[in-house]
Structure 1
């Protein structure tokens, strides 16, 4: 029997394609699916074959224009400042607005399950108040504190012994404490919908019936332990609808795929340095700037093709190395193709993703300020050392096993009460 699913997402760049991939898969199974989303995403939602529904009072963003970006974390001077923008502009500050819009849609049209981006605590609040089953969707590594992993954010390697445990306890307080400023608006949204307050924002992340992690379990730390409601359901490898057709640079030299975020993160200078570095190497470069950076503004040598977009999954069939900001989507697509990486984190969750790649032996991490000479030397090392490709291949096999069945769809159908066919 067909079930009804309401998704809730926002203009968050790389989080959108995997979310819409799950929505499309449910539609293909015969379910009724609609997506609450910013108007700037409606063409992409429609391209996925599901119905878009507009937020009415919640924030509206557009990643193709930095001036219309909701969080504008590229303006923050510190990682804490960038975090505060996510807290105040998405997760907690507008929680009442997201809750109001989600509740209105749930009242207008029934849903058996609400599937919301885990950052949209207001939407999750509405689902809890409406009494429907609720699934949080995490489109990156599981970011909530859990045993066996250091505090999420700085990109630290796991530490053992008394000093390591002390480090983690101190940093955990530093990282969790700033969430307290988001608690009053979140609890106000809960009160407006007849729900009791939560003791902390971190507690609020744990109230959904399921937390589906769209990330390879093999990429996270082996000894990490997760709450029972958390399910690793494997990554989604679909390219966004706007990716276009694949055009490769000419020649037969090894292909280096370059992509530094589909949103604006002040990445023009790193892109220029990477282009100069590739100009000194016997490679072909395919550089995608994303919708927020004009490719014409990136000077590039003759062996580097610069374009706004390209289907990365198709390009990776030809690639020998990926140079990336370590956005989760680009990393997992590269690993699924067995392609090693040079990671240049710019912010957000990227230091964490890059650290996992490095610990797995499938790539190298560099500073965003690295010189063209240092970048060229590192890219050459990754190309010349077969161990990086060997470890990327190991992860590719594990990702293939994880994605051999659509675990996200299975979990959501079970949550809706539909037996698995």
Structure 2
């Protein structure tokens, strides 16, 4: 197709960054103009992807590899609700006016055909809506908002059949959505400041995007779940981040266990050491990657466990028998794409939900974040011994291979740009008179 200009908007959201940049890089390789509005801490990674970085000027500037510079600091929260409130107030709703102002200023200085924003940046979406251009949002995990046909995301529940199950889900959905209400005044203040009508709920604001692309395997989500009709599952991004470096494997020929917790700081050093201790009691080789937020020199580990800051997981997983992880979406899905089963120790955020889906698929085991080394070792041993875990992981690998055989994200974004060029200049699928609604496709 003809060359188009895409403006991406993202933030220092840890594991959410590599998949967003992967889509941006793929568009650039197709000959399109691509630039990325982002925190300055991400600019080196953006440049390494061959993309042009643009700094936020009034929106928050964070660095998740440094606890002192982390905007959300959810590792300080005492409850999951407290961690959610920090995301709502410090990224999604609280600074929405700042994100909108910066996005609109960049679009006016250098117009784009399409704005592509990370799903949580509702302020950036406001900037695109004000500019009157198509907006696509990228969801870099399992779709995180309630939909019919499935339990509400977050608690990590299994589907419940029948009338009682539907009642449970209705009640819990109201409870899950209630904390969003406190973010509505700041969000609507940002909208009205830019001449846009207020929305009735924060969830309605998410639905203002013309296109929602979920960078997660449809095969990993609940089979009966129904999604908004502007949503497309386009498959996960499986390439490694630019900072992953070279792959060094531990010596020997024993089964390899890849261990990896968050790439951002989640106060995870204790869990890293427990995993290393557990692997030291098993007849395995361990490759433990600490990520940029933890110095590998500070992690105690037995001699059979190689501790390093980073390694390209897609390469290491070709040799691995099991992955031990916090169930961050990126590590979990890359493992499943390689047919490698998991032992999950969720630390927070979306990780309990991802771990539950892995467990429901039969491709892994979930443990508490405070699990002892002995219990971790027992779980790893079970996954190594019982063939059902690898069988189900390979089943998901086949499904993921089918989903990623073509680059659906790029195709959808190019189609969005083409429809806009062929129309009357308004964003496709949305008119200024349209009230936001949540429609669902089967």
Identify the TM-score tier after normalising by the shorter chain.
over 0.9
Aligned to 2:401: 400
Give, in angstroms, the shift of residue 418 of structure 1.
6.8
Aligned to 1:119: 120
Aligned to 2:105: 104
Match of 1:212, SS state, is strand
Aligned to 1:203: 204
Alpha-carbon distance in structure 1 between the residues aligned to 2:255 and 2:105:
53
Counterparts of 1:356-371 in structure 2, within 5 Å, are: 356-371=357-372
1:241 equivalenced with 2:203 (yes/no): no
Aligned to 2:423: none
Match of 1:34, SS state, is strand
Aligned to 1:415: 416
* Residue-pair matches, total: 419
Alpha-carbon distance in structure 2 between the residues aligned to 1:36 and 1:75:
27
Counterparts of 1:226-305 in structure 2, within 5 Å, are: 226-305=227-306
Give, in angstroms, the shift of residue 166 of structure 1.
2.4
Aligned to 1:158: 159
Alpha-carbon distance in structure 1 between the residues aligned to 2:307 and 2:59:
36
CA displacement 1:128-156 (0-9 Å, x = unmatched): 11100000110000111111111111111
Aligned to 2:438: none
Give the alignment's TM-score, normalised by structure 2: 0.94
Match of 1:11, SS state, is coil
Alpha-carbon distance in structure 2 between the residues aligned to 1:73 and 1:26:
33
Stretches (4+) displaced over 6 A: none
Alpha-carbon distance in structure 2 between the residues aligned to 1:107 and 1:355:
44
Match of 1:417, SS state, is helix
Alpha-carbon distance in structure 2 between the residues aligned to 1:171 and 1:64:
34
Give the alignment's TM-score, normalised by structure 1: 0.99
1:85 equivalenced with 2:78 (yes/no): no
Aligned to 2:440: none
Q: Which moved more, 1:119-128 or 1:165-174?
A: 165-174
Alpha-carbon distance in structure 1 between the residues aligned to 2:149 and 2:366:
22
Alpha-carbon distance in structure 1 between the residues aligned to 2:82 and 2:17:
24
Give, in angstroms, the shift of residue 328 of structure 1.
0.3
Aligned to 2:43: 42
Match of 1:44, SS state, is helix
Aligned to 1:144: 145
Structure 1 unmatched runs, 5+: none
Counterparts of 1:378-397 in structure 2, within 5 Å, are: 378-397=379-398
Match of 2:157, SS state, is coil
